[in-house]
Structure 1
Amino acid sequence: MTSRSEATDTTPLPQSIALRAAEDDLQMLRVRLRTVAEFIHDPAYDFGARHALAQRLGLPVPTPASAAWQTKEATR
């Protein structure tokens, strides 16, 4: 039987604190990965650099923009 003070104790367990910290770290890493993926697939940046970064990180490599798209963007 547990005492009344033990049953109403709301102090987080050390495991739950560690789990919350791990979940926060994971969320931060997901945001960073999304930012990197957006950069890799943004044709405004150098294709070679984006391609090399994607390969280095093991992410899907970007496809080169079509010549028509590049010409259209250059005339803006």
Structure 2
Amino acid sequence: MQTFSLKGDYIQLIQLLKALNWVEHGAMAQMVVQEGMVKYNGEVDLRKRLKVRVGDIVEFDGQKIKIT
């Protein structure tokens, strides 16, 4: 499992997907979240503006990352 060092209190889920280069652009990030392709702490979450914080785990397309 990879890690992502958070700078600040949180990062929005769609911003995280872009920062990790898991998607090409914001519209694609919104689409994969809306289609239920992203898991947040083991469960599908459809909130695009979800605040991801330290200790959370995000999964997408066979990749998994822990926020540190």
* TM-score (ref. length: structure 1): 0.23
Q: Which has the higher contact order (CA 8 A, sep 6+)?
A: 2
* TM-score (ref. length: structure 2): 0.26
- Select the structure of larger CA radius of gyration: 1
Which structure has more helix as a fraction of its residues? 1
